[in-house]
Structure 1
Amino acid sequence: MTTATSRHSDRRISPVFLGIVAVMAVTGWAVWTDFSASAGLAVFLFVTSAWIVSLCLHEYAHARTALHGGDISIGAKGYLTLNPLKYTHALLSIVLPVVFVIMGGIGLPGGAVFIERGRIRGRWKHSLISAAGPLTNALFAAVCTAPFWLDALDGVPPVFRFALAFLALLQVTAAILNFLPVPGLDGYGVIEPWLSYRIRRQVEPIAPFGMLAVFGILFIPEVNDAFFDAIHGILSGLGVTGNDVPCGLNYYRFWEDTHPVCQSIANQ
């Protein structure tokens, strides 16, 4: 029998998540005030912790929408606690997404919530559950870029601006990649309820390889260039232009020498 106490514990915010938020807040303050002796290390910790927070919110959005859609098993699985370790395991939820950020500045979708779809009735509900995650990334991107499109950058330290711009890049790439109608990604989950049973059964075996196929295609130079041209076009529409994103990536990779242009802007 499920009691009110157990339901409350199923939804209590995890200390793990609160710890990550604390790291994000402290390192964000360090970047803003230039308190750290190494601006690059502070940017790395700030962006990485903020990225993990966004991964947690992405999966929480899936879970919360599924709960309201009819899957009451969500709470018992720990998905409503925002603990990233509940969304599959540490390698997929944290390590791989951070590695891809370091390698190429791509927002790799992280963990996953396992939803008992049989409990949910209605195709629109299924589509909304899949869409909830990438929509959260889109909202996160809007928040990160708010100082840019609101023309409110006066008083914002340059290095903090770089960090926000790079974090916005990660959120936009995560939203775009997740919305691709490729089996295994959220975009396919949006359209899947509207496909025939025969098509769904044919696609099911290849779903685990969909993400790998997307990233394999992204390694094709022409595709990679077109993809990032589109991403930078979106960021430009949100007011993020110039050297902000490249300098954000440059500071994020603190083990490399800071580019003179970025250093010059930061010292202004």
Structure 2
Amino acid sequence: MDGINSFLRYPLEELPFILIVLVLAFTIHEFAHAYAAYKFGDPTAKQMGRVTLDPRAHLDVLGTILILIAGFGWAKPVPVNRGRFKHPRLMGIVVSAVGPLSNLLLAFVGVVLYHVFAGTGVLDNASVGVVKAVDLFLRRLIELNIVLFIFNLIPLPPLDGYRIIEDLAPSHIRMKMAQNEQWGIFVFLLLVFIPPLNRVTIQPLFAIGGDLIYGMSRIVSFVI
């Protein structure tokens, strides 16, 4: 049991909560991409059964396992044909952005619920176990969705941040990006899987997450 715990990023007893949060986060993230693309005129994701909240259509085994081990991961990418959009670049940016924004929204919902449970006494009569379970679930809901929000905005393929930069870039830059995209994916894999590179590149980005959570908490505490 200790060996398994040392392999995972999170304690084994937290695994059920982590998996529930991941299923929720990945499913809504990919559904947001697919739904936005469909509403903008691209039926590709719809035809492949991706405009759904069924997790089985969206989860990627490797990406899910990796977030348990390394703290970040991914789901199956949604196929998007930007040529079907009335305004390909603008709508492409929106389709790419709604995925990470859905994770930010989920994190915000988690912060709201955390303040509600902490400030209204809803769980005052609940057992210690229930209180701890709710506390842990909401903390992981907030934390993991913030991680996914930040991670997916990294401007490297195949992440959403890269697609946003691609749609923002002038045509001649986009052509060069397309020609060298395979090298960007290679760099991404190196940064993800080589610990020394990961520690000085991707991991420092996650420090922003604490500031985001603090900011959301301040907003919610002011309103509630």
Band of TM-score, shorter chain: 0.7 to 0.9
Moved more, 53-62 or 162-171: 162-171
Query: In the alignment, what sits opposite 1:152?
Result: 119
Aligned to 2:5: none
1:131 deviates by: 0.4
Residue 120 of structure 1, aligned match among 70, 77, 85: 85
- 1:230 Cα offset (Å): 2.2
Query: Within 2, Cα distance between the matches of 1:218 and 1:236?
Result: 28
Contact 1:148 1:238 in 2 (8 A): no
2:193 pairs with 1:227 = no
Q: What is the SS of the residue equivalent to 1:97?
A: helix
**Unpaired segments of 5 or more residues in structure 1?**
1-38, 88-92, 241-268
Residue in 1 that maps onto 2:22: 51
Contact residue 150 and residue 205 of structure 2 kept, 8 A: no
Distance, in Å, in 2 between the alignment partners of 1:114 and 1:202 is: 22
User: Does residue 189 of structure 2 align to residue 212 of structure 1?
Assistant: yes
TM-align CA RMSD: 2.8
User: Aligned to 1:184, what secondary structure does the other structure show?
Assistant: coil
Q: Aligned with 1:56: secondary structure?
A: helix
Q: Identify which of 160, 164, 167 aligns with 1:190.
A: 164
2:120 corresponds to 1:143: no
1:43-192 mapped onto 2 (5 Å cutoff): 43-87=14-58, 93-104=59-70, 106-122=71-87, 123-149=89-115, 152=119, 154=121, 155=123, 157-192=131-166
- Aligned length, in residue pairs: 195
Cα 1:225–1:46 change in 2 (3 A) is: closer
CA 188–225 in structure 1, closer or farther in 2 if over 3 Å, else same: closer
For 2:37 and 2:30, the matched residues in 1 are separated by 11
Cα separation, 2, equivalents of 1:210 and 1:83: 32
Equivalent-residue separation in structure 2 for 1:69 and 1:137 (angstroms) = 21
Taking the TM superposition and a 5 Å limit, the aligned residue runs for 1:17-56 are 41=13, 43-56=14-27
- What SS is found at the alignment partner of 1:107? coil
Q: Amino acid of the residue matched to residue 91 of structure 2?
A: K
**2:38 and 2:203 mapped to 1: Cα distance?**
39
* Post-superposition CA distance 1:206-229 (Å, at most 9, x none): 353354244257744344663343
State, as a whole percentage, how many aligned pairs show the same letter.
26
Distance change >3 Å, CA 177–CA 95, structure 1 → 2: same
Q: Deviations over 1:51-90 (max 9, x none)?
A: 1122111111111111111112332110112334434xxx
Please state how far the C-alpha of 1:40 moved relative to its aligned partner: 5.9
* AA in 1 matched with 2:75: G
Residue identity in the other structure for 1:116:
N
Query: Contact 1:71–1:117 (CA<8 Å) still a contact in 2?
Result: yes
In the alignment, structure 2 segments of 5+ residues that lack a partner are: 1-10, 124-129, 219-224
Matched residue type, 1:160:
V
CA contact (8 A) 1:184 1:209 kept: no
CA distance in 2, matches of 1:146, 1:111: 29
Give the 3 Å change call, closer, same or farther, for CA 201–227 of structure 1 in structure 2: same
Q: Determine the structure 2 residue equivalent to 1:236.
A: 214
Secondary structure (helix, strand or coil) at the match of 1:81 reads: coil
